[in-house]
Amino acid sequence: MLVTNSFRSITRAFSLSSSSRVGIPLGIGQACSMGSLLLAAGEKGMRISLPNARIMVHQPSGGAQGMASDVLIMAEELSRNRERLNEIYAHHTGQTVEKIAETLDRDRFMSANEAMEFGLIDRIENHNGSSPPIKI
């Protein structure tokens, strides 16, 4: 699966991250928002990024309008989604839920090296072919 640009639907990302469909993700260009979650949710040992890719993580965002009670319902759902997102990232990265919550508090852009140190990816595929080829 090529992961590039942002993937905005948190519910779709939750569904994909808990299925076996993610397989072997390759981060190219920019993997932002839920795109970074799909990158992290790939097969362990096979979560790969190109050297110049940028990866961005953040807490979920949303908006609501209407009656006050409806706005409160949406705020509660957004809070539940944030907690679940933190748990999923923690599971896939090996970081604590507290560390994930702190990191996702604001937009956090990472280089491929930083993403590897954080546990979002396992290796960086160099353009010179120094990494072993991917078997698909």
pLDDT, one tens digit per residue, over 35-65 is 899 899 999 999 999 999 999 999 998 888 9
Mean pLDDT of 83-109: 97
Sequence-ordered alpha helix ranges (H) in 20-95: 34-40, 68-93
Is 132 part of any domain? no
Q: How does pLDDT run across 25-42, given as a tens digit for each residue? A: 777 788 999 889 989 999
Nearest to 6 by CA among 28, 31, 40: 31
Is 90 part of any domain? yes
CATH number of the domain encompassing residue 50 = 3.90.226.10
| Active site amino acids | 58
Those residues with Cβ within 8 angstroms of residue 80's Cβ, 6 or more apart along the chain or in another chain: none
Specify the number of domains making up the chain. Answer: 1
The larger pLDDT score, comparing residue 133 to residue 16, is at 16
